[in-house]
Structure 1
Amino acid sequence: MFKHWGQAVVIAALGVGAVVMAALRISSAKAFEAPQTWVGTAETIKFLDSGDQLIGLRVEGYPAPIPVFYSGSDTIEKASLIAVSGRIKPDSFPGVGDLTISTEDIDQLEPTTGYSAWVNQVRDGFSQAVEETVGESSRGLIPGMVLGDTRLQGSIEAQTYIDTGLSHLSAVSGSNVAIVVSSVVVLSYFLTAGPRIRVVASLLSLVIFVSLVGFEPSVLRASVTGIVGLLAIINSSRMEPMHGLSLSVICLLFYDSNLAVHYGFLLSCAATAGIVMLQPLLYRAIGPPLAVWKVPDIVVRAFAVSIAADLVTIPIIALMARQISLVAVLANVLVELAVPPITLLGLIAVLASLLPWPVEYPLLKIIEPFTWWIHHVAKWCQQLPNSTLEISAGWAGIAWACMAAVWVVVIIYKGYVRTLAVCCVCFFLFGAWNNRLPAQIDPTELRFVIIADDSELTDVPEHAELIIVEDPHGSMSDRPIVTREGIPVLYPYRDGEVSLHIDGTQHAADGRF
């Protein structure tokens, strides 16, 4: 930074400007007079485990999207004009705005039109093609990895990717942008295109990609961080990558001050900074030991990138989820080679789905083995003993996680890579021995009763030895459920596979209890 003090001054001045902009937006939000009926655009829509919809309502004159918790039965279309009336509550989450709305009544005034309607049509058509073509293990991943559309992912599948550090694959992230742009750069190079043509082709591919997935804040964030990460790798000798990242972050905060408190934004920036700063150091440290074991260089680089991104994001994940994945590096390395084919062939399949002929179906069939592999790697890693580590509440747990991440970097840098690898193997083996389970009970040998939802629990016959609830709604259980009489209650459509054991305990297949 001291070699380029001019850039440092520019970044500092822009940073102050971003702070002033955020202060003005907060002041504008506090001065806004709340109407009886809020009319605005449904900017984002997320389906919660409870069955409710969380809608980001963009109201003219209000400087930030307003979170609307909608418990009605109608499905709201993204980018449509809606009218909301309900109970206003203070927002406990920090940000520009300070209120949320809870309602059961939303009127859709105008359907989505123009570009937004086209994007919705593309997503719906591609999602339908995926459902008709590929198996269950691939249906949720393909739309998520290509377009950031996770509607086909159930809560159990989503939790699997969270526990194994692969949830970033199911969202439009900087890695998607880097894969698309770098692929075009490489292709242009082999076609002997000049530097200017490569730049134009890369920008054109980025425009096509963003046009397909939509101009949402998460997409813009991914585009910026992905380009910065790519430039840091291919052009680090002629630029200061951290300066580029800093400028990108500040520009994004000028665009939307609320990004400063979004976990997705923090994770993207931290992961990019980790790859820029730590990846070269880790690569030099782990390269020689792994070379002795004849590990290919591409795998060594994948380990360096995954470790760098994982270590710097540990404090944020610990704060966000109160748990960290101990298998994230392993899972990300195992799926590394499967991600680019899915991203590239998936985007081609999206473009093909716009044609009047079913050209996308063979492409989806080619993609399916790659997504099958990622899905089963996630399930296998999740079932490893001690795959996740709970972080205690409060800042002490966060501080412990930060110190652990720093010590891992120091150990690798000092050359104790083999010792660290042996300790990790021993840790998982001890967990496997310590977590061994008693013999299982076959549920079909018990007198079981199947009910629709919890309201029928009081009507269960006295002779029942097991209750199975079909209702898929609600949050996933973090402990075994039994009635007052001690009868086990299973929610297979919500909690996934749960086994019964002869000692009376229950154990979820994903290790939650």
Structure 2
Amino acid sequence: MSELRLTPAALLVWVVLLSVAVEVPLIGVLCICFAAACAQGLRHPGQALLLFALGSCALVLGSVRADQDPGLSYTGTVIAEPTATKSGGWYVQVSVPGVSAPQAVFPRELEQVVRGSTVRVDGNTVESMAPPRGFSHTIAAHFRRNVEARTGPESHGLLPAMVLGDTAGQSEEERRVYIATGLSHLSVVSGANISLVTSTAFMLLRWAGCSPRWQVAGAVAVLLGFVALVGLGPSVLRAGMTGLVSLAAVAGSTRMQPAHALSLGVIALLLWRSDLAAQFGFALSVAATAGIVGCYPFIYSALARLGWPDVLTRAVAVAIAADVMTMPIVALMTGEVSLISVLANVLVEPATAPIRVLGVAAIAIPQLLYVLEPCAWWIYHVAYGAAALPVTTVRASPQAVLVGYGWVMVALYYLRTRV
């Protein structure tokens, strides 16, 4: 169980920063004392010291950053595509110089504001001052134009989103369809993007006969290059962390187990960006990765007894593993869960890998878009076909989801031991 030795520290850092975010730091102090006392009582003085040190560091950093207030009027940069809210307004995230956490703004009206725009915020009014600038935005605009010129309408919103996290071409209807079918994770730069790109580089370098050190160095270089392409937004930070965890798994290093790498990544990322502790997106990324790392082997061994083709068994096992961990969070966030997310994700799985790997190459070689268009067409029609079913989502509480998936795991355990 040595691969889990950093898990208590990662959870403690998360809880402490969350207590600061909700303005109840006393809970964080009590958690630090309790965790350190438990470790000491179990005769793990090193663990107790680590918990106390990291918990205290998180408490201090979180408290200092919580005091950073830009006021009601400030100038900043939009770090993610604005999203429409159910009340008819907009949700905009603005990065302000000198303030660690991005500011959330909810304007009623929004004009000419996209990711990368320089804006002036006055209360809940957001005014565009300058269009997006920089290397990543130039690349995104170039790729979007190539997609629109060479592919059908089904690909216009999906390909830029899957390759670069650029959702500017997606309509609100498309976004709702992807959310209802559990495919919205395809429209952001995720750990899957980075893990596939870096793993491909890793395997190519291994095939070329490079030493393990050069394989890892090459994969990290590809990771840094990919981040430069897509920009350093919130989803990219999460993707970088989960992608590095997947890279640790592909590397097969006995010194860095995936669970250990995940805990280390959570600690480092939360200490760097304390605001992530209170973001559902970060919780979903960590939960999905933890599910794949921890639950996938068990689920795969249970489903393997059914005699399905191995590629189908693996796809279903990954989808269930991610759903087991993320669905309670989704229920807490939205009050409902998708009934078709596992099916939809299994159906689109064969089409996602080519887009994520070849899509990066298509930025420089636009002729590859003709190869990728059928994959995007398939994902688009699976999403709309699934969304047209009579029932796609149901109202559910996190407790109900935990109970439901608890029985799923019991059934899989029975299948594993009896079949």
**Shorter chain as normaliser: what TM range?**
0.7 to 0.9
Q: How far apart are the structure 1 equivalents of 2:65 and 2:338?
A: 36
1:99-178 correspondence to structure 2 within 5 Å: 101-103=123-125, 106=127, 108=129, 112-113=132-133, 117-178=134-195
Q: Name the amino acid aligned to 1:325.
A: S
1:32-47 correspondence to structure 2 within 5 Å: 32=69, 34=71, 37-47=73-83
2:383 corresponding residue in structure 1: 378
CA offsets 1:169-214 (integer angstroms, 9 cap, x no match): 1111111111101111222222222212211221121111111100
Distance 1:416 1:142, change over 3 A: same
Q: Name the amino acid aligned to 2:372.
A: I
1:363 and 2:376 matched: no
1:222 corresponding residue in structure 2: 239
Distance 1:169 1:239, change over 3 A: same
1:9-408 correspondence to structure 2 within 5 Å: 9=47, 12=51, 13-26=53-66, 28-29=67-68, 32=69, 34=71, 37-48=73-84, 53-72=90-109, 74-76=111-113, 78-85=115-122, 101-103=123-125, 106=127, 108=129, 112-113=132-133, 117-232=134-249, 234-235=251-252, 237-289=254-306, 291=307, 295-350=308-363, 352=364, 359-360=365-366, 362-391=367-396, 397-408=397-408
Q: How far apart are the structure 2 equivalents of 1:141 and 1:376?
A: 11
Q: How far apart are the structure 1 equivalents of 2:190 and 2:225?
A: 16
Larger radius of gyration: 1
Q: How far apart are the structure 2 equivalents of 1:3 and 1:120?
A: 39
CA offsets 1:209-239 (integer angstroms, 9 cap, x no match): 1111001122021011122134235527543
Q: How far apart are the structure 1 equivalents of 2:374 and 2:4?
A: 48
Q: How far apart are the structure 2 equivalents of 1:306 and 1:203?
A: 27
- Cα drift, residue 416 of structure 1: 7.4
Q: TM-score, normalised by structure 2?
A: 0.82
Q: Name the amino acid aligned to 1:177.
A: I
1:498 corresponding residue in structure 2: none
**Equivalent position SS for 2:112:** coil
Q: How far apart are the structure 2 equivalents of 1:48 and 1:168?
A: 17
Distance 1:24 1:335, change over 3 A: same
RCO higher in structure (CA 8 A, sep ≥6): 2
On the 8 A contact 2:77/2:118 being kept in 1, the answer is yes
Question: Which deviates more from structure 2 when the two are superposed, residues 66-75 or residues 312-321?
Answer: 66-75
Q: Name the amino acid aligned to 1:184.
A: A
Uncovered stretches (5+) of structure 1, i.e. residues with no partner: 86-100, 353-358, 392-396, 420-513
On the 8 A contact 2:82/2:114 being kept in 1, the answer is no
CA offsets 1:425-460 (integer angstroms, 9 cap, x no match): xxxxxxxxxxxxxxxxxxxxxxxxxxxxxxxxxxxx
**Equivalent position SS for 1:44:** coil
On the 8 A contact 2:189/2:239 being kept in 1, the answer is yes
CA offsets 1:316-361 (integer angstroms, 9 cap, x no match): 01111211112111111111121111112211112x1xxxxxx41x
Q: Identity of counterpart residues, as a percentage? A: 41
Q: How far apart are the structure 1 equivalents of 2:277 and 2:184?
A: 21
Q: TM-score, normalised by structure 1?
A: 0.68
Q: Name the amino acid aligned to 1:318.
A: A
Q: Name the amino acid aligned to 1:383.
A: A
Uncovered stretches (5+) of structure 2, i.e. residues with no partner: 10-46
1:493 corresponding residue in structure 2: none
1:443 corresponding residue in structure 2: none
- Cα drift, residue 77 of structure 1: 5.3
- Cα drift, residue 263 of structure 1: 1.1
Q: How far apart are the structure 1 equivalents of 2:199 and 2:226?
A: 13
Q: How far apart are the structure 2 equivalents of 1:77 and 1:372?
A: 26
Q: Name the amino acid aligned to 1:296.
A: P
- Cα drift, residue 307 of structure 1: 0.7
On the 8 A contact 1:43/1:58 being kept in 2, the answer is yes
Q: How far apart are the structure 1 equivalents of 2:415 and 2:144?
A: 47
- Cα drift, residue 244 of structure 1: 1.6
Q: Name the amino acid aligned to 1:371.
A: A
Q: How far apart are the structure 1 equivalents of 2:331 and 2:228?
A: 34
Q: Name the amino acid aligned to 1:102.
A: N
Distance 1:404 1:58, change over 3 A: same
Q: CA RMSD in A?
A: 2.6
On the 8 A contact 2:70/2:96 being kept in 1, the answer is no
* Total equivalences in the alignment: 378
On the 8 A contact 2:93/2:104 being kept in 1, the answer is yes
Distance 1:78 1:132, change over 3 A: same
On the 8 A contact 1:286/1:417 being kept in 2, the answer is no
Distance 1:14 1:366, change over 3 A: same
Instruction: Flag the structure with higher helix content.
Output: 2
Q: How far apart are the structure 1 equivalents of 2:170 and 2:103?
A: 25
2:415 corresponding residue in structure 1: 415
Q: How far apart are the structure 2 equivalents of 1:222 and 1:6?
A: 20
